[in-house]
Amino acid sequence: MSPHPPCALRKLHLPLCPSAGDTPYSPFRGIILSPARIALARELYTARLERKVCISESSQCYHFEFVLDGLDSFPFAAGQFVSTVAPDENGKQQTRAYSIASAASGNRFELCVNRVEGGFFSNYLADLPDQPPAGSIQIHGPHGHFILQQPVTDSILVATGTGVAPMRGFLQWLFPQTGPDAGLDRSAGKQIWLVYGTRYESEIYYREEFEALAALKPNFHYLPTLSRAPESWGGLRGYVQDHVARIVEERAARLGLPLPQPPPDPAIPAKELTFEIYAYICGLNNMVSGVRDKLAAYGWHRKQIVFERYD
């Protein structure tokens, strides 16, 4: 496991990529927690839905913007998640975890969620009104340890589906474009790649936003790839692990580094190891395992590979 698993989820053997939330693959479906247990375990906040946008009709993916009116600020580290709480049709409280799809900004946070047939929470969110009187949910958090290593290094961000949510948070923190930190560059000139895989062009979430960022920042490289691309598609094809392999090989050649890379000094304790490049991976297990295997074949240490999976 990566050095940054969401620890509470691991102990409960729940899905390791909270952005998935309410999916057909997710053991979160059907989990019911009593209000008393939730209150004892976590402080709950009310989050008002300010804006909702369907960003992919074909996959029924929604982008949500929430405001915590009762708080002046809601600090969190990019990549963390919140647990959402709401009553189901029987009046029982249910909870789901979702990766935050934004960097910290005042008392606001954003989510990226696919509507899933039969999934309570994804449908609950998708049906929330964003016009007055706007809908609201309760949350607790932030939680989780899927965060960027410090100091910032060259980084390969790899995601499929709603696994792009924490990656969007990373990029907003690295290259803020709005708010009081607009124009700040926290990347320290390091090379940042986002490899995003999906089946169809209509399912490339936040495409225009990432393309605009890549045009603005020469050290950010946006690589969407389609596994079922039509002939008319002019971009990358195939699976994310193949494009990650190309990045690793081209970087090594450019810097004159051997592949596979030599193992770290065994005299250095594992917890003290640092590396010049890390990979951050979020998606379904087959993809996560495929990328990890590719990187391991290049001699990457397990501490270099930070991942979360949601099945």
In a domain, 98, yes or no: yes
Q: Is the domain of 163 the same as that of 273? A: yes
Can you give the pLDDT at residue 21? 54
Q: How many CA atoms lie within 13 A of 234 on its CB side?
A: 0
Token pair listed for 38: 């939730």
Query: Are residues 186 and 88 part of one domain?
Result: no
Which of 124, 143, 162 delimits the end of a domain? Answer: 143
Residue with tokens 């039509």: 230
Amino acid found at 241: Q
Nearest to 74, CA basis, from 107, 110, 111: 107
Which strand (E) or helix (H) includes residue 166? helix 164-174
**Which pair of structure tokens corresponds to residue 200?**
């169809």
Confidence of residue 17 (pLDDT cuts 50, 70, 90): low
Residue ranges making up the domain that contains 54: 7-143
pLDDT value of position 32: 33
Q: Say whether 9 sits in a helix, a strand or coil.
A: helix
Nearest-angstrom CA–CA distance, 180 and 207: 24
Give 205-225 pLDDT, tens digit per residue: 999 999 999 999 999 999 999
Same domain assignment for residues 118 and 239 = no
pLDDT-derived band at 18, boundaries 50, 70, 90? low
Per-residue pLDDT band for 39 (boundaries 50, 70, 90) equals very low
Q: Report d(CA 62, CA 39) in Å as an integer.
A: 28
Question: Which tokens belong to 278?
Answer: 């890390």
Report the distance separating Cα 270 and Cα 221, nearest Å. Answer: 30
Of 9-23, 236-250, 267-281, 287-301, the one with minimum mean pLDDT is: 9-23
Closest C-alpha among 54, 61, 63, 239 to residue 160: 239
pLDDT > 60? residue 54: yes
In which band, very low, low, confident or very high, does the pLDDT at 26 lie, cut at 50, 70 and 90? very low
84 plus 112 within the same structural domain: yes
What residue has token string 């930070």?
306
Residues 137 and 270 in one domain: no
Q: Report the predicted TM-score, pTM, of the whole model to 2 decimal places.
A: 0.87
Give the SS3 label for residue 241: helix
**CA neighbours closer than 13 Å in the CB half-sphere of residue 10:** 14
Euclidean distance between CA atoms 182 and 12, whole angstroms = 39
Q: Which residue among 87, 108, 143 closes a domain?
A: 143
Q: How many domains does the chain have?
A: 2
Which tokens belong to 15?
């899905």
Cβ burial, residue 12 (10 Å; 0-12/13-18/19+): exposed
Residue 310: the pLDDT is 82
Asked if residue 130 and residue 180 are part of one domain, the reply reads: no
Tokens linked to 94:
């249910």
Residue 9 scores a pLDDT above 90 = no
In tens, the pLDDT along 67-122 reads 999 999 999 999 999 999 999 999 999 999 999 999 999 999 999 999 999 999 99
From the list 124, 117, 83, the residue with the least C-alpha distance to 100 is 83
Give 157-207 pLDDT, tens digit per residue.
999 999 999 999 999 999 999 999 999 999 999 999 999 999 999 999 999
- Chain centroid to Cα 288, Å, comes to 13
Q: Does one domain contain both 283 and 172?
A: yes
